[in-house]
Amino acid sequence: MTAEARLSPDDARSIAKRECRYDCLWYHGFWPLLRRLGLGTAPEDHASFYAAGLDDRGMPGGPTRVLVCGAADSAMPRLAHRALSDRGCRTELVVLDRCATPLAITREEFAPDGLAVSTVHGDVMEAQFAQPFDVIVTHSFLGYFSEPEREALFRRWADWLRPDGRVLTVIRLRRSDTEYVRFTPAEAEAFVERVLEAMRRTPDATRLQVERVRALAWQYAERFRIRPLTSLDELARQAQAAGLALETVPLGQVAHPGPSGPTVPGDAEYHGLILHR
């Protein structure tokens, strides 16, 4: 399966307009274009971390059960499937998300290759699975949860894993004492101009007019917020309380030029997390 998205940002936006039910069209309808322009930090920026973490997960005599827990689009499912299929492993892939948009996008992306993927439309705190997983993968997911919610999430992950299973995820470590991180006014302005500049360099990225893209970029910058993750030690404590051992892998900075801000790397510090059952 190709590592590149088959659906254009415009096609993905059409799906989002049809499927989003949680006031998230501003995000799901714009994120595919942001990735196409090379501006948003995405799973493929940390592909080597995931490939290494999945390297020994092939299960002799049976498929490797993989849960993608939260997916903005099809990038994480495609990366996980490719990492295992490149090693000749059969994969049983399940994608869970509270919004139907990334699930529909993933099904559309996988269908041309005849690849089976199961999608589960539901909240991570309520989902139930009859069989355990070998691996759970996600990207930039933990910042959507408060500290108490994060510990509850870790407990759910522990319950869903086989005894030797693991979770692979990537976080952005931030030095912040605020409840949420948002674009500052200066960051938002720089972000919008960066989007328009990238659009001029990539004229085939979208059929939308420049002023429409400008409006979408402003809406994204004004509405996006995420909880800061400030301490690896605190994450280790929460993981241990849930019965998981935490291993961290420094990933350094993502080589994207341009301004900083949520989902836009700037000089951000990234870490890979491996949570072992």
Count of the separate structural domains present in the chain: 1
| pLDDT digit string, tens, across residues 174-188 | 888 899 999 999 999
Contact status, residue 46 vs residue 139, Cβ threshold 8 Å: yes
Instruction: Indicate whether 264 belongs to any domain.
Output: yes
Instruction: Indicate whether 267 belongs to any domain.
Output: yes
Could you tell me the pTM of the whole model?
Answer: 0.93
Instruction: Indicate whether 151 belongs to any domain.
Output: yes
Q: What is residue 225's three-state secondary structure? A: strand
Instruction: Indicate whether 212 belongs to any domain.
Output: no
Q: Provide the pLDDT for residue 144.
A: 96
CATH code assigned at 95? 3.40.50.150
Calpha distance 111→115 (Å, rounded): 6
Query: Who has greater pLDDT, 36 or 60?
Result: 36
Instruction: Indicate whether 28 belongs to any domain.
Output: yes
> Residue 260's beta-bridge partner residues?
265
Instruction: Indicate whether 133 belongs to any domain.
Output: yes
Query: Who has greater pLDDT, 10 or 254?
Result: 10
Domain span holding position 78: 9-179+222-276
Assigned token pair, 265: 């790397």
Instruction: Indicate whether 137 belongs to any domain.
Output: yes
Strands 133-137 and 161-173: parallel
Instruction: Indicate whether 1 belongs to any domain.
Output: no
Question: What's the order of all strands across the beta sheet hosting 118-121?
Answer: 118-121, 91-97, 64-69, 133-137, 161-173, 269-276, 245-252
Q: Provide the pLDDT for residue 268.
A: 75
